[in-house]
Chains A and B, each alone.
Chain A
Amino acid sequence: MKHDSVDSYSGTSAFSAFDPRAKFIGILVFAVLISFLQDILLLLISASFMLCLLALSGIPARHIAGRYAIAFPFALFAAITMWWTSGEVQATAMFLRITASVLGLILLITTTPFFELLKGLQRLHVPEVMTTLLMFTYRYIFVFSEELARMKIARKAKAYRAGGNFLHRNTMRTVSNTAGMVLVRAYEIGLRVFDSLRMKAYDGRIRTLTELRFASWDYAFCAVLVFMPLLLVCVEWGLIL
């Protein structure tokens, strides 16, 4: 897993320049409001609305489809069981509701570099311990996954083949030892990280040169993300139309 495969378009999309807080709050409110919808037509509108935003963002469709593929089995499984117990209308609604929310989440994560999002979360008063943990964890995931990829090549070179089930002793031992080795390396690096950071004058606080500014277009973008599902919820509850 390479770092650029995750954040490949987050810095260059049409929505990348918006303040991460605007996107986070907007998508969060969108997901909350969408969760109240049960009408198929309204859910279809909300999913189409998100698809339009994704199209405008300039993120390649293949990248979006790859992200959606992670959630698709869950949405499908939930819809199938729902069809079985509550009928096809509820099942379709369930599928569309999960799809619309997932598309919203995809919009947030594909147009916002993770470190920007963290900076936004910090400004939204998420405890500093959490943002520090998130930052370092994110940073080292890619280091260790490359390490893991090398270990996998090494064990393949030694003619390792996984057994058929978890009672296969050698397979389980190899998997445990590989995981254990990743953890030992993490521990050893973890013990040294702080010292190297200290050398660079790290005092537990992250400072960046760029400052976040919530400009008027950020308010507008956030308002669009909030207003649309709010309108749909009002229609569903019979408050308008």
Chain B
Amino acid sequence: MHIPDGLMAPAVSAFGWLIAILFIALSVRLLNRKLDDRQITLMAVLAAGIFVAQMLNFPIGGGTTGHLIGAALASVILGPLAAMLILTVILVIQGLVFGDGGLTALGLNILNMAIIGCLVGWYAYRAFPQRSQTAGILAAAWLSVFASAFACSAELALSYSLSGGAYGISGVIAFPTMLVSHAVIGIGEAIITGGIVAYLAKVSPGMLRLPKLAYLNSEKEAVADA
């Protein structure tokens, strides 16, 4: 789902960058205030872990495979704002080291997978009561993938209609193909995310009790969790 350069209408790419910069700036500001260098290096090493976990393929069916995105997983471990930065870092490395993505499209990729993926994942997870946490994690993972795919389809359709058919992909094609395929991939993401969280709870429960950077103005919660 990495959008390459040249696919989207320039105005849509610019919009993506605008939103991405806004959220990154807010997250960086909060992180600078709340986290010390020790926690930042821990976050970075965890980002590398999630990056490598994304390299593991799981079978979807019919010979196709999918892989973890990890937005909901990162949110559950570190809270949405830190997760957003982790996913952003992963997307930047995928673009600037491996050529997966692009420079003008990076804003939209960050918006779809890092911002929307993490926020939807986090709030879906928090919407479930403590006793049905597993259901919350499954729902969070599925919704985060589906919401990212929905945003991507909307951007493709918007690019297409804004440019009179020169950019993007027509909504008639983009929405059904993206949403149906990601509704299925999302099930794999949910199962794997649920499996990973269950594994962590058993093997390294401390990881699930890390401070969660959540709300911009809810300083009490971030401190209390810490």
Majority DSSP secondary structure for residues of B touching A: helix
Instruction: Pick from A143-151, A209-217, A220-228 the stretch touching chain B.
Output: A143-151
Residue among B6, B28, B51, B92 making CB contact with A101, cutoff 8 Å: B6
Instruction: Pick from B37-45, B120-128, B218-226 the stretch touching chain A.
Output: B37-45
Interface-centre pick from B28, B52, B196 (highest chain A CB count, 10 A):
B52
> Which residues of chain A come closer than 8 Å to B198, judged between CB atoms?
176
Majority DSSP secondary structure for residues of A touching B: helix
Give A112-138 as 1s and 0s: 1 = Cβ < 8 Å from B's Cβ atoms: 001001000000000101101111111
Asked whether B68 lies within 8 Å of A179 as measured between CB atoms, the reply is yes
Asked whether A136 lies within 8 Å of B41 as measured between CB atoms, the reply is yes
Give A162-182 as 1s and 0s: 1 = Cβ < 8 Å from B's Cβ atoms: 111110100111011111111
Contact residue range for chain B? 35 or more
How far is A99 from B104 in the complex, measured between Cα atoms in Å?
A: 14
How far is A240 from B14 in the complex, measured between Cα atoms in Å?
A: 26
Binding site for B on A (CB under 8 A): 1, 6, 27-28, 31-32, 34-36, 38, 67, 70-71, 74-75, 78, 81-82, 84-86, 90, 93-94, 97-102, 104-106, 108-109, 114, 117, 127, 129-130, 132-141, 143-145, 147-148, 162-166, 168, 171-173, 175-191, 193-194, 197, 202-204
Q: What are 19 A-to-B residue pairs whose CB atoms are below 8 Å?
A: A71-B4, A81-B169, A81-B173, A85-B172, A94-B7, A104-B5, A105-B5, A130-B88, A133-B44, A134-B89, A137-B51, A166-B60, A171-B58, A176-B199, A180-B196, A180-B203, A186-B50, A190-B42, A191-B42
Binding site for A on B (CB under 8 A): 2-8, 10, 13, 24-25, 28, 31-32, 37-38, 40-53, 55-62, 66, 68, 85-86, 88-90, 92-93, 95-100, 102-104, 160, 165-167, 169-170, 172-174, 187-188, 191-192, 194-196, 198-200, 203-204, 206-207
